[in-house]
Structure 1
Amino acid sequence: MKRVCNSSPDRITDLPAHVIQCILVFLPIKDATKTSVLSRKWRHQWRSIPQLVFDDGFVEIREETESERSLMNKQQVLLNIYKSLLLRDGPITKFVLSIPRLNPCHEIDLIVLYLSSKGVRHLTLVFSRNSDEYQMHSSLFSALHLKSLKLRSCEVTPPSWFVGFSKLTHLDLNRVTLPCDFFKDFLPKCPLLESLSVVDCDGLEGNLDIVAPFLKSFTLVVDFLDICFSFKSTPLLSYVVLDWNDDCTDGGVPDMVSLFASLPALQQFHVNYEILKNFAGGGRNVPARLPTLHLLEVFDMKHVIFDVSGMERVFVCLIMSSPNLCSLTIQVSTLQQHDQLAGNEVSSLWRSLEAEDCPGSSHCLQQLRECRIVDNCATLAELDLMRFILATAPLLRSIHITPYHKLGTKKIMKCMKEVMQYTRISKEAKVVYDWNDEED
């Protein structure tokens, strides 16, 4: 038996170096360093891992109340990161710093400076939402090999000598303070940008013209809008999220025809009610059809109130202009509730749907598979919409309804009975109520 054991190959030791690297990439840094005891061949392999991830799995910061202990913990964490960087043998392609309760400090400048000289391609710097913003070191803008950049709770000011990120494809900004001319000066210097996400960022004002010929995904989420935005050159943009809470200014959003004409490749559109309301108001004429939405497959609306004048015309225009629509999600606003359920009466939405449906009948929902109604308040418009979808969508598989939790058991049950009686053109269509009566 001893001879057999001694003659059997050591499969772990004999693994090729590139295979060992692939294994170590999927391990936390702590575990990767422990593999040095496996064999001589593995002893220094962890030092050339191209990806370094420092997250909550890297260190456990205990809940300390004393400032001295908290400071000592922070210094120990940074010291361990410094050691990991100094012991590196090869290039660093990916670096992630996302440690809970690690507040921004000047010591991080050294990390950014070091990474910018190591050809880092994917960089993530995420700080606590409750911490102060980290003033980004200017050396970041000399990291010309960057392909993806994710920042949270930072303040970013590109220096005058910044020539651009010629290889950057993904940019994710969350709670980042930006200069007012950031998009005007920054986007043209990132010609290959494919994904742009701007969430809760400060400093946006003036004209926001999106000029990105390779942009495929765009997300804009802000608490208020003090800008005028438009898509100037985005022929490949297929995924768009537009969301803010406060009312739009008159010039904040372009009219429907101009907006969707600049999005010929749009496939997924997630929009807030305020933008749709802007389409309906301001004296703008809502067209019956938009010829540029033939590729739209996913339509998601938040905080919708159909009772606002003109709102139903906007909604009808969008769904009637989307022959390939597969998924429709509507989150109803709970600001207004109505006690009356649909009986013999019909809502203005139903009249708009019938009026637009007469020329082409059910061509608008031929591809619809799934519909979701979130925070359903059992208004006439909501019930009429579900009745219309069940009657005109031949490929419909399900309508998921989540009742508003304060609606009351009796109203929810009455609404359920009403919807179950509607005619269904699709034999596979199911009405699913995501409701737990024990919570009521």
Structure 2
Amino acid sequence: MKAKRLSKAPRLDRLTTLPQTIIEVILCLLPIEEAARTSILSREWRYKWTTIPKLEFDESTFETSTKEITVKELRCKLFGAIHQVLLLRQAPILDFTLSIYTHHKCYEIDQIILHLSRNHNVKKITLDFWPKNSYPLPLSFFSLHHLTHLYLQYCDFDHEPTFNGFGNLTSLSLSRPSISRKSLLHLLSNCPSLKSFRLFIDYEEFYGHERPNIMELFKSLPVIEHLTTWGYIAPLFVIDSAPQELPTSLIHLKYFCFEQMGIVNRDGYSFGLTFLLVLLKCSPNLERIKLEVDTDEDFDKGTLKLEEYSVIFENYSDVWLEHLNELKIQHFRNFNPELELVKFILARSPNLKKVILITWINNKNEELELLNVLSHAARASRVEIVVENLWTESDSDDYEDV
């Protein structure tokens, strides 16, 4: 007897049967052009990509290795794709990213921002520009009142700060902005929910001759929890004689990151160290500190004016870090001011659990001597000290409980 041929079972499309929210998460992981190509899979997939809440456009992804195109052609291709995507949208845009090389005037970007401000309650915007001149933000940008996260690189705030602020903004990153003292303070003061702030700015990027001082900066950040900045701002914000009592306290600050911090300066004085100590003084609930020391490897230790550093530490001898549990210092060179800073924190942190020193020390005996010095330093708690060597490919496991 012949066996009956079984009918071919229909193929089960497990991906299509997933909930729409799961499909959107998957599509958000793809570049936007790849997500759009899923429309050819089937009739069910034709418009699924038009509802993803996150859009990311990167000029570099539009470059092609098979055909050389001019900058103008590349720009037309990019903005053509953006406008097409925006035209086909069938759901709100919550997260928008644009990475592009800009000129001083870029009206296409103005139109995109205007569209977002009128048609979508965007929560997160990233404008990552690489310009010869900073991109001037249009007035429509300040109508994005639903923003909770904002990242701006090389953007120009060249206008009077008259907007009412971003009441829902919790995270702000300003990298190399062109801005005046008045505009910066107005912006920060009108973000009452700001909990995370990252500021990278140079002296020449401030408009006019006025610079905000450290008191004004801290006063504008009443509920800040995470603060990241870099060493080049220290001379801008630290006045000649930093006050012992500041008009405000950063009672909510839990994490501070100081990149390219100049503890050791060629003139023997450190605005970076003063900025750090002032911040420690008014941050009683700080839990984690991360410092990236920026010191020239050819620096002559003999030029240090150690008495000036001693005076700085003495001025802040009443600092007490009750809640600090971790200190991490990158590019540690074991210069005296760096070592004194570690000892200063050890003696004033009763709940400190771990100190991580990532060093340029290329000498085992010097590493052991460093651990020995710290093991005999005054301390307020039992601390694990880890020394990791940047000269080796793998991190060193040398550590000592003290």
TM-score by length of 1: 0.66
Count of residues paired in the alignment: 367
Q: Is the 8 A contact 1:28 1:57 kept in 2?
A: no
Find the residue that maps to 2:96 and give its secondary structure: strand
Shift of 1:81: 1.3
Aligned to 2:167: 166
* One-letter code aligned to 1:26: L
Shift of 1:268: 3.6
Aligned residue among 270, 280, 283 for 1:277: 270
The answer to whether the aligner puts 1:21 opposite 2:24 as a matched pair is yes
Find the residue that maps to 1:264 and give its secondary structure: coil
The answer to whether the aligner puts 1:298 opposite 2:302 as a matched pair is no
CA deviation digits over 1:393-427, x for unaligned, max 9? 74425222457xxxxxxxxxxxxxxxx9xxx973x
The answer to whether the aligner puts 1:255 opposite 2:242 as a matched pair is yes
For residues 240 and 162 of structure 1, do their structure 2 counterparts lie closer, same or farther at Cα, with a shift above 3 Å needed? closer
The answer to whether the aligner puts 1:124 opposite 2:112 as a matched pair is no
Q: Is the 8 A contact 1:349 1:384 kept in 2?
A: no
Q: 2:271 and 2:16 mapped to 1: Cα distance?
A: 65
Find the residue that maps to 2:181 and give its secondary structure: coil
Aligned to 2:326: 326
Find the residue that maps to 1:190 and give its secondary structure: coil
* One-letter code aligned to 2:29: F
Q: 2:98 and 2:74 mapped to 1: Cα distance?
A: 16
Q: 1:167 and 1:311 mapped to 2: Cα distance?
A: 42
Aligned to 2:395: none
Aligned to 1:36: 39
Aligned to 1:80: 81
Find the residue that maps to 1:181 and give its secondary structure: helix
Q: Is the 8 A contact 2:262 2:272 kept in 1?
A: no
After superposition, where does 1:188-203 map in structure 2 within 5 Å?
188-200=189-201, 202-203=205-206
CA deviation digits over 1:236-293, x for unaligned, max 9? 4344445334883796276374359723344444453469835989xxxx99x96964
Q: 2:125 and 2:61 mapped to 1: Cα distance?
A: 17
Aligned residue among 48, 51, 68 for 1:48: 51
The answer to whether the aligner puts 1:396 opposite 2:384 as a matched pair is yes
TM-score by length of 2: 0.72
Q: Is the 8 A contact 1:248 1:274 kept in 2?
A: no
The answer to whether the aligner puts 1:308 opposite 2:317 as a matched pair is no
For residues 401 and 60 of structure 1, do their structure 2 counterparts lie closer, same or farther at Cα, with a shift above 3 Å needed? same
The answer to whether the aligner puts 1:369 opposite 2:362 as a matched pair is no
Shift of 1:93: 1.0
Q: Is the 8 A contact 1:134 1:155 kept in 2?
A: yes
Aligned to 1:5: 9
For residues 262 and 44 of structure 1, do their structure 2 counterparts lie closer, same or farther at Cα, with a shift above 3 Å needed? same
After superposition, where does 1:136-215 map in structure 2 within 5 Å?
136-157=137-158, 162-200=163-201, 202-203=205-206, 206=210, 208=212
Q: 1:247 and 1:165 mapped to 2: Cα distance?
A: 26
Q: 1:372 and 1:319 mapped to 2: Cα distance?
A: 25
Q: 2:12 and 2:320 mapped to 1: Cα distance?
A: 66
Q: Is the 8 A contact 2:332 2:338 kept in 1?
A: no
Q: 2:74 and 2:62 mapped to 1: Cα distance?
A: 10
Find the residue that maps to 1:187 and give its secondary structure: helix
Q: 1:254 and 1:12 mapped to 2: Cα distance?
A: 64
Q: Is the 8 A contact 2:197 2:224 kept in 1?
A: no
Q: Is the 8 A contact 2:215 2:247 kept in 1?
A: no
Find the residue that maps to 2:384 and give its secondary structure: coil
Q: Is the 8 A contact 1:256 1:279 kept in 2?
A: no
Shift of 1:163: 2.3
Q: Is the 8 A contact 1:52 1:95 kept in 2?
A: yes
Aligned to 1:70: 71
For residues 84 and 394 of structure 1, do their structure 2 counterparts lie closer, same or farther at Cα, with a shift above 3 Å needed? same
For residues 11 and 297 of structure 1, do their structure 2 counterparts lie closer, same or farther at Cα, with a shift above 3 Å needed? closer
Aligned to 1:231: 218
* One-letter code aligned to 1:396: E
For residues 230 and 264 of structure 1, do their structure 2 counterparts lie closer, same or farther at Cα, with a shift above 3 Å needed? same
Q: 1:159 and 1:246 mapped to 2: Cα distance?
A: 23
Q: 2:185 and 2:341 mapped to 1: Cα distance?
A: 41
Bigger drift between 366-375 and 289-298 goes to: 289-298
* One-letter code aligned to 1:181: K
Gaps of 5+ in 2: 296-300, 392-397
* One-letter code aligned to 2:130: S
Q: Is the 8 A contact 1:279 1:314 kept in 2?
A: no
* One-letter code aligned to 2:200: V
Q: 1:239 and 1:330 mapped to 2: Cα distance?
A: 19
Aligned to 1:408: none
* One-letter code aligned to 2:28: V
Q: 2:140 and 2:232 mapped to 1: Cα distance?
A: 35
Shift of 1:192: 1.4
Identical-pair percentage: 24
Shift of 1:321: 3.6
Q: 1:249 and 1:387 mapped to 2: Cα distance?
A: 37
Q: 2:95 and 2:169 mapped to 1: Cα distance?
A: 14
For residues 93 and 238 of structure 1, do their structure 2 counterparts lie closer, same or farther at Cα, with a shift above 3 Å needed? closer
Q: Is the 8 A contact 1:173 1:198 kept in 2?
A: yes
For residues 297 and 391 of structure 1, do their structure 2 counterparts lie closer, same or farther at Cα, with a shift above 3 Å needed? farther
